[in-house]
Amino acid sequence: MSRRALTLLVAGFLALALAVIGAMLPVPYVVLSPGPTENTIGDVKGKPVITISGRETYPTQGRLSLVTVAYQGGPDNRLDLITALRGWLDPTIAVVPEETLFPKSTSAEQVEEQNVQEMTDSQQSATAAALNALKIPIEKVVTVAQTDKGTPADGKLKPGDEITAVDGSGVGELGSVAASVQRHKPGEPVTFTVRRGDASTEVPVGTVAGKDGKARVGVQMRASYRFPFKVDISVGEVGGPSAGLMFSLGIYDKLTPGALTGGMSIAGTGTIDPAGNVGPIGGIEQKMVGARRAGATVFLTPAGNCAAAVKAAPSGLRLVRVETLDGAIKAIDSLRDRSGEVPSCPAA
């Protein structure tokens, strides 16, 4: 073999080796793909997604499915270049920068904790929205979200505690708790009355001076609700706030006679607040694909996602535009009874 041929052979081998090694190197991207769907009026692993105790419920049928996005990659399990390239070639998959899901200032564990908390908050809001739609009275309460490490409240107040009074005076809003604490001078104790489980107890907590010089105890609170009966929602490892609309519809369906869907397979997505307002979400393209694969023929689409949805809707999936829980219920009624117009996402 001539020296020229040998040089070309070695160069080609080195180029191939470098290409293979480069393809196996981790890249800071995340692959988003259609995730599983769960029927909110059905079961997951033999357990109802929605269980209502202390109130009459009604049998139903059809599907009201929440949709999810699965992801691959992340700071602790980075993709290789080949996997990312495959994703770029698949129209049902999105390849996005890692920071889209995992900001540099946030660890993977913190992202997971945030997703879990958002799911918990979403279930509370979804229940409140459904009961408000049914004109069932609910009570607003203040609960402990978490305490700041090393502060007087750390170890004394616990996440989930419902704060019913401060120094014997009842509270109903977040601001009233803070105002009651700040009436004290830093260093003076404050007595919280909390409902913990089924018991009510008084918890004395010291105070320290905050950055503004006012008394603080180091507790982070959130507005929550007490319902006149128990609503449990169980969907396994699904996180985030985007299933709120479908939870609300599932609760509404179980609390009203007849089948809301009339037997149809309906999927959808959207955040929801206690007033029933539906907000946009991420991953709409992958969620629609997952819904269609699961047999859905109707997809409830937040108005804010319509522009992206119409560009990527799979064949056979009808997009229904929703802005509120009430609007979603009316749209489903019209589809079921084949009466009246149903709002749709406008063509792009």
Which tens digit of pLDDT belongs to each residue from 201-238? 999 999 999 989 999 999 999 888 889 999 999 987 77
Determine the pLDDT at residue 14: 45
How many other CB atoms sit within 10 Å of the CB of residue 331? 21
Q: Look at residue 59 and tell me whether its pLDDT is greater than 70.
A: yes
Mean pLDDT along residues 317-346: 94
Instruction: Write down the CATH number for the domain with range 139-226.
Output: 2.30.42.10
CATH topology of domain 29-136+230-337: Ribosomal Protein S5; domain 2 (3.30.230)
Determine the pLDDT at residue 86: 74
The identity of residue 224, as a single letter, is: S
Mean pLDDT along residues 277-295: 95
How many other CB atoms sit within 10 Å of the CB of residue 151? 19
User: Which band of pLDDT confidence, cut at 50, 70 and 90, is reported for residue 346?
Assistant: confident
Determine the pLDDT at residue 54: 95
Q: Look at residue 116 and tell me whether its pLDDT is greater than 90.
A: no
Residue ranges, comma separated, of all CATH 2.30.42.10 domains in the chain are: 139-226
Antiparallel, parallel or unpaired: β 318-322 and 298-302: parallel
Residue ranges, comma separated, of all CATH 3.30.230 domains in the chain are: 29-136+230-337
Determine the pLDDT at residue 78: 73
Mean pLDDT along residues 116-130: 88
Q: Look at residue 294 and tell me whether its pLDDT is greater than 90.
A: yes
Model confidence pLDDT, tens digit, residues 73-94: 776 677 777 776 776 677 788 7
Determine the pLDDT at residue 111: 65
Determine the pLDDT at residue 45: 85
Mean pLDDT along residues 276-283: 94
Determine the pLDDT at residue 16: 44
User: Which three-class secondary structure state does DSSP give residue 295?
Assistant: coil
How many other CB atoms sit within 10 Å of the CB of residue 81? 15
What is the percent of the chain with per-residue pLDDT over 90, rounded to a whole number? 61
Catalytic residues: 242, 287
Higher pLDDT, 111 or 217: 217
Angle at 185 between CA 179 and CA 190, to 5 degrees: 65
Mean pLDDT along residues 37-57: 94
The answer to whether 132 and 228 have CB atoms below 8 angstroms apart is no
User: Which band of pLDDT confidence, cut at 50, 70 and 90, is reported for residue 25?
Assistant: low
Average pLDDT for the chain: 86
Contacts 24+ apart (CB under 8 A), 277-281: 277/323, 277/324, 278/244, 278/245, 278/302, 278/303, 278/322, 278/323, 278/324, 278/325, 278/327, 278/328, 279/304, 280/304, 280/305, 281/241, 281/242, 281/305
Q: Look at residue 109 and tell me whether its pLDDT is greater than 80.
A: no
